[in-house]
Amino acid sequence: MTTADPLVKTLREAATREGFSLFGIAPAVPLPGYPNLLSWIDAGYAGNMDYFANRKAAYEHPRSVLEGARSIIALAYPYDAADTTPITAGMGKVARYVWSGIDYHDTIHPKLKQLCQILLTESPESHARGVVDTAPLMEREIAKQAGLGWTGKNTLLLNKQQGSYFFLACVLSDLELPYDPMHETDHCGTCRACLDACPTNAFPEPGVLDASRCISYLTIEHRDPIPLTLRDGIGEWLFGCDICQEVCPWNRKPAQRATHPETALDTLDLSQLFDLSDEQFRQRFRKTPLWRTRRKGVLRNAAIVLGNQQQMSGLPALIRGLKDKEGLVRGASAWALGKIGGDQANAALESSRDTERDPQVLGEIELALSMLNQ
C-alpha cells in the first residue's frame, strides 16, 4: 500500500466529483453515544421501528457492519434547500429530501461504490462497504467523530457551512487511514428554535427525539392510524417534515441550494392521490421515497391534511376515501370529514356507518359524527 496521504487525497477528490459536500475519516471504534442509543430505545422513543431494538447489539461497534473495519469515511450529500412553495388549499407539503423525485439510496449507493473501488484498487486484499442508513451504524456519531459537525438540539448533525440539509453516508474499510480530528464544540448555544417550533412536542429534552411524536415518523414509518392527539399537529405535511430544520439559524444560508424543477415533488395535489389505484400509485412513485409508505399510508396522510385545511373543496376526495378498500384510508377520511363538517360530510358519514364492518373505522365514523354534532 502507498502512503496514506495520497490515498486520502484521491478519495477526497473523488468524493467531491461525486457530489459529496463534506468528507472526514473516523476510527472504527465503539462510539461514546451508544449508551444513549440504548436509553433511547428503552424509553420507547423508537415508536414501532423495531429494527432498532432487534439490532441494538450491532450498533455497539462498526465491525458488525464490516468485519475487521478500522476506518470509516463519513460523507455528506446535499439535498434541496430552496425556499418552500406557498401551500394552497388542496395541496400537501413534502419534506425537502423528497423534492428531487428520486430515491436517495439509488443516487448515493453508486457513488459510494466508486470510493470503495478506489480503496480496493489501492489494496486488492482489503475490504470496503458503503452504507446509506440501511445498516446498524450510528452515522451521526461517526460524522461527529470525523469532524463533519456537531449534534444539534433537534438531534440532526449540523455544520456551520452546510446547515443540516444533507444525507449522511459512510464507507467502511479495513485499511487504517489517517483520522480527522473530532468536532468537539457545540454551536447551538441557548437557541431553542427547533424545540419550540415542533407542533407535536417531539423533543422531551434537547438532543432527544421522541420519534413516536415526530411528524416525519408519523407520516412515513408509522403504519397504523395516526394518534388523535397528534393529527392537528401534522398540519399540511403529507410526507415528512422540515420544521425543526427550517427554523434553525444554521440553515438560513446553506452553502448549496440545489433544485430539481423537472421532477420537483415539493407539493402534491391531495385530491388526485385518491384517484390512484395501487398500480397507478406504483407507476408514479415506485422510484421515489413516497413508495416506502405505500398508497394507503400516503392517502391516510392526505386525508389528515385535508381535514386540517378544513376546506369544502376537499369533501369529494374524502368521500371517495370513505369508500376506499383500505381501512386505514377510510378511517382517516372519516375523521377529516368530521373536521370539515357540513351536510354533505354528515350524509356521507351516516351512509358509511350503515355499511362499514371494520370496528376501528366505525369508531372513527362515530367520532366524526360526534364532532359534527357538537
- Give 115-174 pLDDT, tens digit per residue: 999 999 999 999 999 999 989 999 999 999 999 999 999 999 999 999 999 999 999 999
What is the model's pLDDT at position 3? Answer: 44
What are the residue numbers of the active site?
133
Using the predicted structure, report yes or no on whether residue 209 has a pLDDT greater than 70. yes
| Local confidence band at 84 (pLDDT 50, 70, 90 cut-offs) | confident
Q: Do residues 334 and 364 make contact, with C-beta atoms less than 8 angstroms apart?
A: yes
Q: Percentage of the chain surpassing pLDDT 90?
A: 88
- Average pLDDT (44-60) is 94
What is the model's pLDDT at position 240? Answer: 97
42-50: which pairs have CB atoms within 8 A and are 24 or more residues apart? Answer: 43/210, 44/212, 45/204, 45/208, 45/209, 45/210, 45/211, 45/212, 46/211, 46/212, 47/211, 47/212, 47/217, 47/221, 47/222, 48/212, 48/221, 48/222, 48/223, 48/224, 49/211, 49/217, 49/221
For CA atoms 356, 357, 360, 362, the dihedral sign is: positive
Q: DSSP assignment of 84-149, as one string?
A: PPPP-TTEEEE-GGGTTSS-HHHHHHHHHHHHHHHHHHH-TT--EEEESSSSS--HHHHHHHTTS-
Residue written as cell 417534515?
241
- Average pLDDT (8-20) is 96
Q: Which stretch of DSSP H or E encloses residue 25? A: strand 22-27
What is the model's pLDDT at position 2? Answer: 38
Domains recognised in the chain with CATH numbers:
4-80+103-173 (no CATH), 276-374 (1.25.10.10)
Residues 6+ apart with CB under 8 A from 226: 218, 219, 234, 300, 301, 304, 332
Interval 245-297: pLDDT, tens: 999 999 987 555 555 555 568 889 999 999 999 999 999 999 999 999 999 99
| Local confidence band at 80 (pLDDT 50, 70, 90 cut-offs) | confident
What is the model's pLDDT at position 264? Answer: 67
Using the predicted structure, report yes or no on whether residue 219 has a pLDDT greater than 80. yes
- Average pLDDT (53-62) is 94
SS3 75: strand
| Local confidence band at 1 (pLDDT 50, 70, 90 cut-offs) | very low
Using the predicted structure, report yes or no on whether residue 177 has a pLDDT greater than 60. yes
**DSSP H helical segments within the chain, as ranges?**
4-17, 34-42, 50-54, 104-122, 139-145, 193-197, 215-216, 228-234, 243-246, 270-273, 278-285, 294-309, 315-321, 327-340, 343-355, 359-372
What is the model's pLDDT at position 373? Answer: 80
Interval 305-356: pLDDT, tens: 999 999 999 999 999 999 999 999 999 999 999 999 999 999 999 999 999 9
What is the model's pLDDT at position 354? Answer: 92
Residue written as cell 351512509?
351
Q: Do residues 248 and 160 make contact, with C-beta atoms less than 8 angstroms apart?
A: no
